[in-house]
């Protein structure tokens, strides 16, 4: 079985379409949240995700803010502006879909969350200290997270008191090590100084993880963002992947 793992689409339909075309053959899709926010295509992205095969989808912090499950005042002014714009754009049906998404799902020996096992919607796993703490909050061999927009793996081996970090190799299936946290990176707004869309494949039968990157038409997305008067900072960061 070949499972496409995606996260943080952030209303970037051009990036999402490019990823789906590049991925080509997969049996199921696991989406780790933040379908909307920042980008110009919230309805298109929600509707595309909803129609993917064998879908498992979580709610992200931007999704939660858009449906008023999270206080938008906790976001910076530019992100809050994008949330308010997104609320005005989304159809009632798509708002209802986002509101029904769960923040934690366990299946196939994997715990799925958007942020972290300890705080599924909001906590960022940005370092080995926080990762180490979070291993106590899930019991499965693996945990998949998004939220940071950074493709990374945290491992906590037997007898080790502190997690270690590694960046998975690109376009190479690696054997997964039990007690690992994987992040596939962001489809729609990467933040590792690489502007290419990021995603991964998970093979539960062979227990492998394959990390992928693909270029997409960033300028087309930026043009739509400017036409919608979305924050310039969010427009510029797509070019540099920050």
pLDDT at position 191, please?
A: 98
Rounded to whole angstroms, how far apart are CA atoms 85 and 109? 38
List Cβ neighbours of 23 (8 Å cut-off, separation of 6 or more): 4, 199, 201, 212
Residue in the structure block whose two tokens are 């100084």: 193
Q: What's the CATH code of the domain at 195? A: 3.60.21.10
Helices (H), the chain: 13-23, 42-50, 61-66, 77-89, 92-99, 128-134, 218-227, 232-240
Q: What SS3 state is found at 211?
A: strand
Domain residue limits at 68? 3-240
Low-confidence ranges of the chain (pLDDT < 70): none
- What's the structural domain count of the chain? 1
pTM above 0.95, yes or no: yes
Q: pLDDT tens for residues 178-234?
A: 999 999 999 999 999 999 999 999 999 999 999 999 999 999 999 999 999 999 999
Backbone φ and ψ of 100, nearest 5°: -90, -5
């Amino acid at each position: 079985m070949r499972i496409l793992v995606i996260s943080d689409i952030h209303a970037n339909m051009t990036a999402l379409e490019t990823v789906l075309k590049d991925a080509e053959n997969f049996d199921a899709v696991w989406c780790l949240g933040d379908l909307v926010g920042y980008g110009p295509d919230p309805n298109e992205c929600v509707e595309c995700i909803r129609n993917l095969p064998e879908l498992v989808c979580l709610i992200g912090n931007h999704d939660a803010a858009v449906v008023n499950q999270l206080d938008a005042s906790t976001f910076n002014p530019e992100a809050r502006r994008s949330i308010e714009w997104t609320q005005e754009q989304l159809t009632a049906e798509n708002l209802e879909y986002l509101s029904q998404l769960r923040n934690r799902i366990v299946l196939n020996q994997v715990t799925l969350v958007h942020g972290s096992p300890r705080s599924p919607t909001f906590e960022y796993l940005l370092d080995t200290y926080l990762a180490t703490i979070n291993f106590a909050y899930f019991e499965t061999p693996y945990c998949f997270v998004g939220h940071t927009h950074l493709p990374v793996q945290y491992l906590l081996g037997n007898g080790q008191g502190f997690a270690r970090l590694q960046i998975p190799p690109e376009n190479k299936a690696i054997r997964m090590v039990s007690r690992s946290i994987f992040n596939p990176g962001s489809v729609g707004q990467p933040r590792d100084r690489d502007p290419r869309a990021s995603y991964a494949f998970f093979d539960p039968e062979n227990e492998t993880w394959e990390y992928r990157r693909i270029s997409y038409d960033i300028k087309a997305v930026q043009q739509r963002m400017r036409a919608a008067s979305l924050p310039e900072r969010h427009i510029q960061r797509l070019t540099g992947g920050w």
